[in-house]
Amino acid sequence: MTLKIEVREISTENKEWHELVHSSRQNILFVDQRFLNIWTTKGTSNHLMLLGCYDESGCLVGGQAIIHRKFMGLRIQGSFNISYRCTPILAGHIRENSPEQYEILSALARVTRKKFPYLKVEFHPNLTDTRAYLNNGWHAEPQYAHTWDLRNVDNILQNMHRKKRSYVRKALETYEFNVERDKKIIDEFLRLYTETMAKFSWCPNENWSESFHHKANWLLDEKLLLPCTCRAKTGELISVALVILSPENRTAYGWLIGYDHAYASYEIPASLQYYSATILAANFDVLDLGDGPNANLFAYKDSLGTASHPFWVLTTKDTKKWIKVLDFLRDTRQSLQKLFRQRIHAFDS
Amino acid sequence: MLAETDPHIKGILPLVCVGKNEEFLAAIITPYHFASHGLRVDSPFGYSTPLFSKVLNEGGSQHMYTAHSIHADLLRSLSEHISDIRLHNAPDIWDVRAYSFLDWQIDTIHTHEILRTENNWEKIDQDLQTIIQQGEEKYSLHADVNKTWDDLFVKRTNHIHPIVLRKRLDWMRQTGTGRLFTLTDSNNLLVACTLAILSQPDGRAYLWGTTFPKAGSESNALPVLLWQTCINLLRDFQRVDLGTSPNIGVSQVKDKLGAKLLPTFITKFNKHNKEAPTPVSVNE
């Protein structure tokens, strides 16, 4: 018998969402109401669309949270540096790859397609069946998360490539590694991160920085952020790695890393990530370092001895074209802003 | 066999990747034909897939970059020789980063696999067990040669020319690498059929071209056809690949049979339509 599903927008205050998330096998911090609220307030122009899937008896059996912005009357999905963004979640009693799961995912695939001009959905790794999306005209392609198993933390160093292992060992002797929870570290991180991202021709603007402070401070207050630092013996800060903690599924997620480029880049990030793994091992099973979106990052993460775990990325048709257009508009705006600032500066001097 | 049975196939391109000590690392063998813009690979018969040395899989899901690099080299070499390529990768190829980073188009299609276990029957959904039991009283499975059934099968498989498929069926029977399983009703009329491609090297049988000449018979006949065929094949093979289907109803019957859902990837490359790589976007 086919399950009839109705998809409705629901409020973030809805208690049912909380219950759904907690019963779900996709229970991760990134779908928690508090997390979603923080990610869509203060300093951001982000909005949250929370979709609930109700069965015929009115039970909430699935849902999806989509953070987006509004641009020229359209809802546009942003990239948020969080793992498994927009993953559908299913109530705990929905069996894996069952016809019920198919109907819920089909309903979400249909409804979200109508609400957004394009959309990119990253499935939680335990959602392995993409047929519902494929049959609704979406495209499915796997990406691969690089993870360390923290239950065997002693093996991590052994599994690294020989050279990487020797760099890490050397760095552990040469530098000081610590967890620093003082909020000042967020400012320090931002300084280093700006330097790191300059390599990719990107500079955080005022809005981004304000929003980042808000999120990072909230995560710190909630003890959901592990800021690991690497300092020279003289006390000079070299690198900060921010790890988001998801106690729900005993998984920690490598979020952002910034470092001083005056120091050797091949030893610092790997050492800091290894250090964070040793700290996390007491309370977490997995450290997820994210995907390797290009051959260089794949090579780097593979050399750390991580395991590759596939997860599905579902996209609507023409997503690449939309992203190209929006990137072009963003770049044009940034160039104009830069030009404008230069003119003002020239005028002042 | 592929080249001998299809006059459009003009040759076979074998590419092998070996290590410094001449040890085998990976290979791909593709039949090609001539197209307007050059050579083309597009084999719709079974998987067309790279092969990797077991040594490369020893790390499991760790230390995969070496295998990735070899895979990428193989694909680069293939795309130097052939301008238009379509591969259907076997389910074993779950890491498609080599295609992705080289800007090949990747499409996903699911197959199902049944393993030989002690309790295959118990894994079947209870409702489906009833359908199979009732169906077994109505239908009979055959693996013997019947010209009428062969004709019906080749005519209904519309993505390969009937003459080509007929030759392939004959060749596989002669070499013991293929068997056509047919399900008939009490009047000995063909209700459903499937071609099992028998692969001794990997101990697997692959079902291909499952079809229902009698309209409306899918829901009752399909479970019987698949279950009976599997029982037959699992005597000699460890695994049976039930094949892909765009029909979700058919696909869900395979779920209910207790088969494992597996993604497979159809990967395409066209030298002439190749788009420039999309730059990595760093923003929020």
Yes or no, beta carbons of A128 and B61 under 8 Å apart: no
- Read off the pLDDT band of B281 (50, 70, 90): very low
Sequence-distant (6+) residues with CB within 8 A of B78 are B13, B15, B28, B30, B41, B85, B269
Verify that A130 and A168 share a domain, yes or no: no
Please name the member of A130, A308, A327 whose beta carbon is closest to the beta carbon of B64.
Answer: A308
Verify that A105 and A196 share a domain, yes or no: no
A79 touches chain B (CB under 8 A): yes
Verify that A132 and A150 share a domain, yes or no: no
- Read off the pLDDT band of A348 (50, 70, 90): confident
Element (H, E) at B100: helix B97-101
pLDDT in tens, A224-253: 999 999 999 999 999 999 999 999 999 999
Task: Indicate whether A1 belongs to any domain.
Answer: no
Yes or no, beta carbons of A298 and B68 under 8 Å apart: yes
Task: Indicate whether A325 belongs to any domain.
Answer: no
- Read off the pLDDT band of A333 (50, 70, 90): confident
Mean pLDDT for chain A overall? 91
Amino acid at site B174: Q
Q: Is the pLDDT of residue B135 over 70?
A: yes
A12 touches chain B (CB under 8 A): no
pLDDT value of position B274:
67
pLDDT in tens, B161-180: 999 999 999 999 999 999 99
Query: 3-class secondary structure for A189-218?
Result: HHHHHHHHHHCCCCCCCHHHHHHHHHHHHH
Verify that A158 and A249 share a domain, yes or no: yes
pLDDT value of position A100:
96
Amino acid at site A300: Y
B187 touches chain A (CB under 8 A): no
Please name the member of B61, B248, B282 whose beta carbon is closest to the beta carbon of A307.
Answer: B61
Pick from A212-216, B21-25, B35-39, B265-269 the range whose average pLDDT is largest: B265-269
Verify that A55 and A200 share a domain, yes or no: no
What is the CATH classification number for the domain harbouring A39? 3.40.630.30
How large is the ipTM?
0.91
Which of A69, A103, A137 is the C-terminal boundary of a domain? A137
Verify that A166 and A289 share a domain, yes or no: yes
Q: What percent of chain B has pLDDT over 70?
A: 96
Verify that A169 and A242 share a domain, yes or no: yes
- Give the residue-averaged pLDDT of A322-342: 78
Verify that A192 and A291 share a domain, yes or no: yes
For residues B29 and B14, the answer to whether their CB atoms sit within 8 Å is yes
Mutation target among A302, A303, A309, A317 for the B interface, most CBs of B within 10 A: A302
Mean pLDDT for chain B overall? 91
Verify that A299 and A227 share a domain, yes or no: yes
Yes or no, beta carbons of A323 and B278 under 8 Å apart: yes
Task: Indicate whether A349 belongs to any domain.
Answer: no
pLDDT value of position A80:
63
Q: How far apart are CA A89 and CA A112, in angstroms?
A: 14
Verify that A205 and A287 share a domain, yes or no: yes
- Chain A, residues 114-133, CB within 8 A of chain B, namely 128-131
Task: Indicate whether A221 belongs to any domain.
Answer: yes
Which of A105, A137, A169 is the C-terminal boundary of a domain? A137
- Read off the pLDDT band of B88 (50, 70, 90): very high
pLDDT in tens, B195-217: 999 999 999 999 999 998 777 77
Distance from CA of B172 to the nearest CA of A (A): 32
pLDDT in tens, A160-191: 999 999 999 999 999 999 999 999 999 999 99
- Give the residue-averaged pLDDT of B226-239: 96
The pTM of this model reads 0.91
Task: Indicate whether A28 belongs to any domain.
Answer: yes
Task: Indicate whether A327 belongs to any domain.
Answer: no
Q: How many residues does chain A have?
A: 349
Closest residue by Cα to residue A294 from B277, B71, B105, B70: B277
Task: Indicate whether A320 belongs to any domain.
Answer: no
Q: How far apart are CA A236 and CA A122, in angstroms?
A: 38
Which domain range does residue A247 map to? Answer: 146-308
A296 touches chain B (CB under 8 A): no
Q: Is the pLDDT of residue A334 over 80?
A: no
B96 touches chain A (CB under 8 A): yes
Number of structural domains (chain A) is 2
Task: Indicate whether A88 belongs to any domain.
Answer: yes
B186: which 2 tokens?
A: 């009490």
Local structure of residue B62 (DSSP, 8 states): B
Which of A137, A166, A188 is the C-terminal boundary of a domain? A137
Verify that A171 and A274 share a domain, yes or no: yes
B276 touches chain A (CB under 8 A): no
Q: How far apart are CA A66 and CA B198, in angstroms?
A: 47
pLDDT in tens, B89-124: 999 999 999 999 999 999 999 999 999 998 999 999
Mutation target among A45, A71, A134, A319 for the B interface, most CBs of B within 10 A: A134
Verify that A98 and A131 share a domain, yes or no: yes
pLDDT in tens, A196-219: 888 777 788 888 888 899 999 999
